[in-house]
Amino acid sequence: MKKVPTKREKGHNDRPVALVTGAGRRLGRQIALDLGANSFDLIVNFNKSARGAAETVERLRKRGASAHAIRADISKRGEVALMVQKAMEIFGRIDLLVNNSAVFIHSPLQKTTDRTWGRTIDINLKGTFLCSQAVAPEMLKRKGGRIVNIASLGGIQAWAQHLPYSVSKAGVIMLTRCLAKALAPEILVNAIAPGTIFMGAEEDPGQEHVPISTIPLKEYGKPSDVTDLVVFLSRASYITGQVFVVDGGRSIQ
């Protein structure tokens, strides 16, 4: 239980396998690339970012990792089940699940529509639940695995201008704790709650950030501040049910 399994089913090599949702762009892509650089093979999940997912796979393969892109809308149980089935057919195992896929919509109380609320909760919270529920049996069969949920500082603080997002990420944090209890001792489940992460060339046009003066460390986070922690948690053997805040000290104010 204490270590991520390192032996594949017959016919595969001995690298552990990670499934990263929303890995066709931005932070999900960086998580996948860093895992590939740390001896993982990858299932690159995407929904609409087909071109980005193909690029992620190409970059992983150039670095020596085995990688495959699988399209699935993680808010739909049937598509999640098929994704996990395909992953198992390809690799025979899933050692690490990173629930990264999310939507972030400016939506204060009086402007939050049913559609915005439903889409945000479905992808951010329901999707995290469905993927965890689908992958857990495969990990339990092997008596070991890791789940890392990408939550948000918005799940700890009340981000009233992004109300559905904040609520959904608070749900991800509690889901993390519940899963950690439900799946112990075989599967370790933790969450990372990033603050403002500057994505450089992949930054969305028009993306607004909090003033840097509100961050004690006086700088925005880098993707590696999150991805390094994902890699650490993929190997940690005595940590579960925890939420790691990566926000430059913003939450202490």
Known catalytic residues are 165
CA angle centred on 172, ends 52 and 145, rounded to 5°: 75
Distance in angstroms (rounded) separating the CA atoms of residues 162 and 158: 9
**Beta-bridge mates of residue 44:** 20, 69
Residue 1 contacts residue 144 (beta carbons within 8 Å): yes
Residue 177 contacts residue 241 (beta carbons within 8 Å): yes
Residue 227 contacts residue 31 (beta carbons within 8 Å): yes
Residue 247, amino acid: D
Distance in angstroms (rounded) separating the CA atoms of residues 176 and 178: 6
SS3 percent helix, strand, coil of the chain, rounded to 5, is 45, 15, 40
**79: CB partners within 8 A, 6+ apart:** 72, 73
CA angle centred on 147, ends 144 and 150, rounded to 5°: 170
Whole-angstrom CA distances from 215 to 136, 139, 198, 221 are 37, 39, 13, 10
